[in-house]
Amino acid sequence: MAIRSGLIRRASLLGAYSLVLASPIGLDACRDATAPLPDNAVRFVPPPVYARWWTIVEACSGHTGDFAAYTWYVAPDNSLRNNAAAYTEVAARRIVLESSQQNAGSIVRHEMLHALLGPAYASGTSAHEHPPAYFQGRCAGVVYCPEIGCQDAGAAPVMAPADAPTLPLSALDIQMDVLPDRVSRTGVDRALTLIVRVTNPSAEPVWVQLDATPDLPAPWVHWYGFRIVPAVQTVPITGIARDDSAGVITRDSVRRVAFAAGQTRQLVFDLSGALYAPADYLAVGIFNTRQVWTPFTIVP
């Protein structure tokens, strides 16, 4: 009997990009699937961005796997049992997505995490299938982890003991990666992935105190985000609080963030090159009051 895991109920994603870690809207559940491959599921060749997403999930999970070994199926919306958006069959090495989720990076990466975690987490309760150490810990910011079934699997792990030393925000190693750095707005592969990588350079767990951000009322502070600006624009930028297709920043009321020894948090944004006119740009990665930037180009 096939082992199934990793069912996600249909989620409403935000706007043009799927913003991971934002409060999900309209999400219902993420729980065990027992449906066979639907009659109307059609196999498809994964687009190039899937291989890039796979490497991101390998990096956050610390697990490696053979991307080419998996087969991918798409089914019409609302046709998966239990109102599922997607599910993974680890034993059969196949992932089934409903059609509206094929470009939803955080949903696809959620299924990839099931694939990479492998048989040890591919059966049993939904809680067992969604270990918080991965879905809410190592890969938080990379995969979508809805409340029911995923966050219900347990509390998010705390990466540092309460009495761990404090590291200044300025000591974090922050990088902005843009995959790929040249995107055609009309080509087959228009997916643009931004990754803000925040690393604790210390060999011990630490707490980082976030700065107050003046344009938000206490206790809220800016958490992380991005903005895309013309390459000629002066950086660092101001006006980061706008939420539109050129950027977004999340807010949090928690002022102290834990990092495990050497931990890198990957915070992923999925965009389409079709959103932007052909030009040279800077992708500005934002972590609280820190900013880093990387050039990239949109071509016709």
Residues within the interface to Zn ion (CB under 5 A): 6, 30
**At closest approach, how far in Å is the CB of 244 from Zn ion?**
30
| Cα–Cα dist 226/198, whole Å | 13
- Cα Rg for the chain, rounded, in angstroms? 19
Q: Based on CB atoms, which residue is closest to Zn ion, 72 or 293? A: 72
Q: Based on CB atoms, which residue is closest to Zn ion, 5 or 213? A: 5
Residue listed under structure tokens 């490696």: 64
| Cα–Cα dist 300/297, whole Å | 10
**At closest approach, how far in Å is the CB of 5 from Zn ion?**
7
**At closest approach, how far in Å is the CB of 221 from Zn ion?**
30
Q: Based on CB atoms, which residue is closest to Zn ion, 30 or 90? A: 30
Cβ distance 34 to 81 under 8 Å? yes
**At closest approach, how far in Å is the CB of 3 from Zn ion?**
13
User: What's phi and psi for 105, nearest 5 deg?
Assistant: -55, -45
Q: Based on CB atoms, which residue is closest to Zn ion, 70 or 276? A: 70
**At closest approach, how far in Å is the CB of 112 from Zn ion?**
11
| Cα–Cα dist 87/30, whole Å | 9
Residue nearest to Zn ion (CB): 6
Spell out the residues 6+ positions from residue 150 whose beta carbon is closer than 8 angstroms to its own. 30, 126, 130, 135, 136
Spell out the residues 6+ positions from residue 132 whose beta carbon is closer than 8 angstroms to its own. 151, 153, 154, 155, 156, 157
**At closest approach, how far in Å is the CB of 110 from Zn ion?**
6
**At closest approach, how far in Å is the CB of 86 from Zn ion?**
8
Q: Based on CB atoms, which residue is closest to Zn ion, 58 or 252? A: 58
Q: Based on CB atoms, which residue is closest to Zn ion, 11 or 167? A: 11
| Cα–Cα dist 233/243, whole Å | 18
Give the HSE-up count for residue 172: Cα atoms under 13 Å, Cβ half-sphere. 29
Residue listed under structure tokens 């843009």: 178
Q: What is the DSSP string of 23-58?
A: PPBS--------PPPPTT-EEEPPPHHHHHHHHHHH
Q: Based on CB atoms, which residue is closest to Zn ion, 107 or 292? A: 107
Cβ distance 156 to 132 under 8 Å? yes
Spell out the residues 6+ positions from residue 156 whose beta carbon is closer than 8 angstroms to its own. 132, 136, 137, 140
Q: Based on CB atoms, which residue is closest to Zn ion, 29 or 257? A: 29
**At closest approach, how far in Å is the CB of 63 from Zn ion?**
15
